[in-house]
Amino acid sequence: MLQDDTRSEVSLRINGVDRTVGVDNRATLLDTLREGLGLTGAKKGCDHGQCGACTVLLDGRRVNSCLQLAVAADGGEVVTIEGVAGLEGGGDLHALQRAFLEHDALQCGYCTPGQICSALGAMAEAERGWPSHVTGDTSAGVAGAASLDAYEVRERMSGNICRCGAYGGIVAAVLEVAEADGGRS
């Protein structure tokens, strides 16, 4: 039982497991994941939603968890980097994680969890036909998946910063997986 109105119980499905945690109403999803639940894969980079190191999937959409209040995510389904491998139904690495390794899409690795979660969200957006700033003419309406090319990937991933400059490998990894599964991940 929570003792005052500054705290709430939040129920989330995190990486396929139902969790309930008591949080300060001002706590971010990032702090709840890292400090309250011990899931330290999402990183605290800028704490202002500008670097993308904290990106997770919330109900299938990518979010900067440093800007998302935990109480606003109540009842949601969260996938962190710790749960990405499980998206393909196995304990092995997800195809995107393997592609990041194969294309040397990481150096120090600090931004990598956010990059991977953001890429999964970006591919899902393209699969749903959501245009980006660089998507061609959509005046006839968007039907089916948006085509992913290097320009699309760069635009869709522009909210994720890599201080090491592994962008070439990141784009190649995302394109490989998007082409292999038709944009579905």
Please say whether the beta carbons of 29 and 69 come within 8 A. Answer: yes
**DSSP assignment, residue 72?**
G
**Mean pLDDT across the chain:** 92
Q: Which domains does the chain have, with CATH numbers?
A: 7-83 (3.10.20.30), 87-180 (1.10.150.120)
Query: What confidence tens digit (pLDDT) does each residue in 4-28 have?
Result: 789 999 999 999 999 999 999 999 9
Q: Please give the angle made by the CA atoms of 126, 131 and 135, to the nearest 5 degrees.
A: 105
According to the model, what pLDDT value does residue 181 have? 72
**143 confidence band (pLDDT: 50, 70, 90):** low
**140 confidence band (pLDDT: 50, 70, 90):** low
**pTM metric for this prediction:** 0.91
Q: How much of the chain is helix, strand and coil, in % rounded to 5? A: 35, 15, 50
Q: How many residues are listed for the chain in this entry?
A: 185
